[in-house]
Amino acid sequence: MTTHRLHPAHALRTRDVRVSFAGTEVVAGIDLDLRAGEWLGLIGPNGSGKSTFLRSLVRLVPRTGSVERGDGTPPGPTDLSLMPQSPELPPGMPVMEYVLLGRTAHLGWLSMESRADRRIATDVLRRLGLASFAGRPVRSLSGGEAQRVVIARALVQQSPVLLLDEPTSALDVGHQVEVLELVDELRREDSLTVVAAMHDLGMAARYADRLLLLERGAPVALGTPDEVLDDTLLSRVYHHPVRVHRLDGHLVVLPQARALHTPASAPIPLPDRSTPASPRSGQRDLGDGSQKPRSRKLGSAGPHEEVS
Amino acid sequence: MTTRAHAPTDALDEAADRAFRLSVPALLGCTALLLLAILASATQGAAGLPVEGVVRALVGALPGVDLTQTLTPAQEAVLWQIRLPRTVLAALVGASLAMAGAGYQGVFRNPLADPYLLGVSAGAGLGAVLALGFGLDLAWGPIAALPMAAFVGAVLAVTGSVLVARGSFRDPATLLLAGVAMAALFSATQTYALTRLDETRAREVLSWLFGRLATHGWGPVTLLLPYVLLAGAVLWLHARHLDVLRLGDDEARSLGLSPARSRLVVVAAATLITAAAVSVSGLIAFVGLVTPHLVRLLVGHSYRLIVPLSAILGGAFLATVDIGARTLVAPAELPVGVITAFVGAPFFCVVLWRRKADS
């Protein structure tokens, strides 16, 4: 079964993509050339512009610069599908209806789903092992199930590029792997291009072909996980000493000695910082005098995501 | 993957088939309710009409049907000139308000929204006061001054709200607040104008404000019908947009919908239909708020079911309630808006109570 149009031209190219909020630049010139079937991981601390960059690609925030499909034309709503960080799950909406809403951009002016649209939805649900969930309200699903349903909705959009905004941030480690494996499987089968903002650097290294490291909206490094996950570079960008280890063939990024539960009041000497740790100890806070833009959604990250 | 359950194929296909579609039993049931309400309303009143005779008259009026009529000529006259116009008007007004209520609830993603939210009621009220009390003559062709003035007032008030919110259909909260402000302004003006009227005229205005269904002939029906058909079709075609909007503006946009444009169209259609209904019937409370909720209890939350079923059930509800308005204190008449509130408010309280208990 193919749910996606296979077309070599359907990769993505961005040139000098910039986003500003109230005079502060939060995405500062991103150039990318993505192959069909490639997985790019966006990494960087909170507020580094990962989410905003993804949202700017589908014009949810105004941007400058160019975004093109491989053939040079601008992408439409059927070319990019965004899986939001915290998707809205409307009360009383069954899974089947939720997934069918993904067909919006494909419908004619009468806004009616055709037999083909319904067929695509059942195919995707079956493929994702969600067949028995079709009648359940989306609100009644567990985190992992809901995330699969959201992926199903993104898949019925049948766009060749899948944008994932921290797809696993609400999941335990088992479900994280399950969701990421699923995305990986789908992109291999359908040559989907995946751009995923990811907090967990180890997971990012494991699934992405290339990583783009952002700092205050600007690209700092772009390359394979081996190239980008560098002790010195990460320690500088994340304002915390980290070590990159190789374990069973996987890259693992470990934060150094500073315990996660250090009392907030204790001043901790850090390479780049002159101020004490924030009250949410163990996590980088944005308002630390380093003048990082605060304009993106705050509170989007759980307390232990950043340094995992 | 670990948890890949497989349901029987036909169950999944069936779910896909059912999604967003009106089930035949629900549609038939609601239509039967509407017909029953119309029949009851047509037979009950100051002069009771025999049910069988009325059924024969109604069915016999269908093209190609030939039935022996049993009504006397006087009863025929009551049925066709008095009872039926009023019944049909009640059903149309109920349908209009209920559909508009569903539309507004979808636009604002708020189940407490009702058709009067953006100032329709206050605007229509002011128009009515000016027309009735001060002889402001907006009559246009066959359309009397009061409906015309009320219609213009309602549309002006909503337009005012939209302008104050700078047309920001991206930000429904601002629009809502603008509506509150505009309604307050128009209400105040209307109240002031009322105090300047003599008692007879003030009473006439008040009875209109409480909602009263006109009793003279088919005029109001022909006035309202085009709006119901046109705006109803627009609302129905945009019901899917309202379903997408339930995902929030960002997701709706990333799915290819323009939330602002969809809101503009729905608000325009809902406002027109409300203004038209209000202009012929005055302010009838609670139909627009309660009916969509009732439909949600029956068939779930998709606006593609809520909009058409609200129209049918809203019509049935108002036609039924109007029987009470005509008969409870006969030979006098209660304002129908009073009864809708009397029935609607407790019902709504029960719904809220039970919903709270469920969650």
pLDDT digits (tens, 9 = 90+) for A141-161: 998 899 999 999 998 999 999
* Contact: A104, B248; criterion CB under 8 Å: no
**Contact state of A134 with B15 under an 8 Å Cβ cutoff:** yes
A264 within some domain: no
Identify whether A125 is part of a domain: yes
Whole-prediction pTM: 0.83
Is residue B310 over pLDDT 90?
yes
Nearest CB neighbour to A84, from listed B16, B251, B296? B251
A292 inside domain: no
Domain that holds residue A201: 12-229
A16 or B209, which is more confident: A16
Share of chain A above pLDDT 70, in %: 80
> Does the pLDDT of residue B354 top 80, yes or no?
no
- How many domains does chain A contain in total? 1
Q: Are A82 and B5 in contact (CB under 8 A)?
A: no
List residues bridging with A68 in a β-sheet.
Answer: A13
Classify residue A29 as left (phi > 0), alpha (psi -120 to 50) or beta. Answer: left
Whether A93 and B3 lie within 8 Å, measured CB to CB:
no
Question: Cβ A131–B6 below 8 Å, yes or no?
Answer: yes
Provide the pLDDT for residue A305.
36
Any domain includes A244: no
Asked if the structure places residue A56 within a domain, the reply is yes
Q: CB distance A101–B243 less than 8 Å?
A: yes
Mean pLDDT of A219-241: 93
| Beta-carbon contacts of residue A46 (< 8 Å; ≥ 6 apart) | A284, A286, A296, A298, A300, A301, A306
Query: Do β-strands A12-21 and A24-34 pair in parallel, antiparallel, or remain unpaired?
Result: antiparallel
Cβ contacts of A72 within 8 Å, gap of 6 or more = none
Of A82, A121, A132, nearest to B254 by CB-CB distance is A82
The percentage of chain B sitting over the pLDDT mark of 70, rounded to a whole number, equals 93
Closest chain B residue to the Cα of A176, Cα to Cα: B1
Residue A82 contacts by C-beta under 8 Å, 6 or more apart in sequence?
Answer: A54, A55, A57, A58, A60, A154, A163, A165, B254
Signed CA dihedral, A154, A157, A162, A164: sign only: negative
Q: Is the pLDDT of residue B209 over 90?
A: no
Q: Is the peptide bond before B331 cis (omega within 30 degrees of 0)?
A: yes
In this prediction, residue B348 has a pLDDT band, given cuts at 50, 70 and 90, of confident
Binning pLDDT at 50, 70 and 90, where does residue B214 land? low
Q: Is the pLDDT of residue B29 over 70?
A: yes
Among candidates B5, B11, B252 on the partner chain, residue whose Cβ is nearest the Cβ of A129: B5
The reply to whether residue B247 touches residue A101, judged by beta carbons under 8 angstroms, is yes
Domains annotated for chain B, with CATH where assigned, are 26-41+50-60+70-358 (1.10.3470.10)
B7 touches chain A (CB under 8 A): yes
* Structural element, H or E, at residue A26: strand A24-34
Q: Point out which residues pair with A252 in neighbouring strands.
A: A245
* Residue A248 belongs to some domain of the structure: no
Q: Which of B17, B247, B256 sits opposite A88 (nearest CB)?
A: B247
The closest CB to that of A126, out of B12, B17, B254, belongs to B12
**CA of B10, closest CA in chain A: separation in Å?**
10
The whole-number pLDDT of residue B288 equals 93
CATH number at residue A220: 3.40.50.300
pLDDT of residue A209: 95
Separation in Å, CA of A33 to nearest CA in chain B: 22
Please count the residue pairs, one from chain A and one from chain B, whose beta carbons lie less than 8 angstroms apart: 110
Q: Is residue A85 part of a domain?
A: yes
- Cα-to-chain-centroid distance, residue B241: 20
Would you say the C-alpha torsion B87, B234, B109, A171 has a positive or negative sign?
Answer: positive
A135–B302: do the CB atoms touch at under 8 Å? no
**Residue A11 has what DSSP assignment?**
-
pLDDT at A99: 95
In Å, how far is B224's CA from the nearest CA of chain A? 25
Q: Which residues of A touch B240 (CB under 8 A)?
A: 104, 107, 111-112
User: How are strands ordered across the β-sheet holding A80-83?
Assistant: A80-83, A161-165, A193-197, A39-43, A210-215, A218-223
Euclidean distance between CA atoms A215 and A222, whole angstroms: 12
Q: Per the CB < 8 Å rule, is A90 touching B302?
A: no
Name the amino acid, one letter, at B335.
P
Which residue on chain B is closest to A108 by alpha carbon?
A: B237
Nearest residue in B to A115, CA atom: B17
CB A194 within 8 A of CB A160: no
Report the residue from A58, A80, A91 with minimal CB separation from B301: A91
ipTM of the complex: 0.85
Closest CB to A129: pick one of B1, B240, B253: B1
Smallest CA-to-CA distance from B276 within B127, B57, B171 is with B127
Cα(B146)–Cα(B282) distance, integer angstroms: 10
Residues from chain A contacting residue B302 (CB–CB below 8 Å): 93, 97
Three-state SS annotation for B162-214: HHHCCCCCCCHHHHHHHHHHHHHHHHHHHHHHHHCCCHHHHHHHHHHHCCCCC
Give the whole-angstrom CA distance, residue A4 versus residue A192: 8
Q: What is the mean pLDDT of residues B149-165?
A: 89
- Mark yes or no for CB contact A157/B300 under 8 Å: no
Q: Considering chain A, what is the average pLDDT of its residues?
A: 81
Inform me whether the pLDDT recorded for A286 exceeds 50. Answer: no
What is the pLDDT, as a whole number, of residue B150? Answer: 86
Report the distance separating Cα B97 and Cα B114, nearest Å. 9
Q: What is the DSSP letter of A133?
A: G
User: Higher-confidence residue: B199 or B255?
Assistant: B255
